[in-house]
Amino acid sequence: MFKSTVTVKHQYRFLASAALTGFQITRAFLLNLLSVGIYTNNNVPTGPTLSRLMSGVKLNRIEMRSPSGSSDVSITTMALEWLSSLGPTSEVSDTGTPLHPPFISTSPPRQSLAGFWSLSGTNESEPLFNITVPTGCVIDVWIDHIVMDGETPVIQTSSNSALVEGAVYVLALDGISSNKLVPVSYLTSN
């Protein structure tokens, strides 16, 4: 007997190219993080497209670090609000200065939406948490993935005409249409 499902644990790192306030991160954004460039319609390019590689994801932890400000008096605030349909939401925030930059380390609370697996084709538009970050914030996200195994492929359209067939891409944490929480150290697309 053996566990045949391919499961991967990974720490992703994202960099905020612009400030976001109360932005909702959905199940689909996490499911789409790892995607591959594809051709469709019998290898005839129909425009830049991506196919998701994961059928399930489980969010384990998030850490956020803010950069130092430009002056001794600049104040920076960041926050993460875990959403729930089974109880109250839970918000974690920190405010800091250049000498003591803000830092957040948090895991999904019990009964929060992010405390459960996100599965391909199930409640993908459901927001798991809201995020508020300044420009330059570094966001580390620890996730368990389950690789697709016979599930219906999920195709996304990209505006990146330079996508390469077969190349693996890590998409922005806030989705390809917002594209402000960009991955560090991997090909990406918008």
Q: What is the pLDDT of residue 67?
A: 80
Distance of CA 98 to the CA centre of its chain: 27
Q: What is the pLDDT of residue 42?
A: 61
Q: What is the pLDDT of residue 170?
A: 93
Burial of 54 (0-12, 13-18, 19+ CB in 10 A): buried
Q: What is the pLDDT of residue 75?
A: 86
Q: What is the pLDDT of residue 94?
A: 96
Measured in Å, how far apart are the chain's first and last C-alpha atoms? 42
Q: What is the pLDDT of residue 124?
A: 95
Q: What is the pLDDT of residue 165?
A: 83
Q: What is the pLDDT of residue 46?
A: 65
Q: What is the pLDDT of residue 70?
A: 58
State the 10-residue block means of pLDDT for the chain, 190 residues long. Answer: 90 96 97 87 67 95 84 82 94 91 95 96 96 96 95 81 84 93 87
Q: Domain 7-183 adopts which CATH fold?
A: Jelly Rolls (2.60.120)
Give residue for tokens 């990406």.
188
Reduced to 3 DSSP states, what percent helix, strand and coil does the chain have, rounded to the nearest 5?
5, 50, 50
Distances (CA, A) of 16 to 13, 45, 95, 181: 10, 32, 17, 5
CB–CB of 13/138 below 8 Å? yes
Instruction: Show me where the domains of the chain are located.
Output: 7-183
Q: What is the pLDDT of residue 172?
A: 95
Q: What is the pLDDT of residue 45?
A: 54
